[in-house]
Structure 1
Amino acid sequence: MKAEAWIFIACTIFLVLVTPTYWFVTSGSEHGGDWTGTSALTMCTLLTAMCSVYLGFHATRMDPRPEDRKDGEIADGAGELGFFPPFSWWPLWCAACLGIIVFGTAMAAYWLMIIGGALGFIAVAGWVFEYYRGEFSH
Structure 2
Amino acid sequence: MKNALSMLQAVHHVALICSDYEKSKHFYVTILGLQVIAEHYRAARSSWKLDLALPDGTQLELFSFPNPPARPSQPEACGLRHLAFVVRDLDRTVAWLESNNISVEPIRIDEYTLKRFTFFQDPDGLPLELYELPE
Q: Could you tell me the TM-score, scaled by structure 1's length? A: 0.18
Q: Could you tell me the TM-score, scaled by structure 2's length? A: 0.18
- Hey, which of these two has a bigger chunk of helix by percent? 1
Greater Rg over alpha carbons, structure: 1
- Hey, which of these two has a bigger chunk of strand by percent? 2
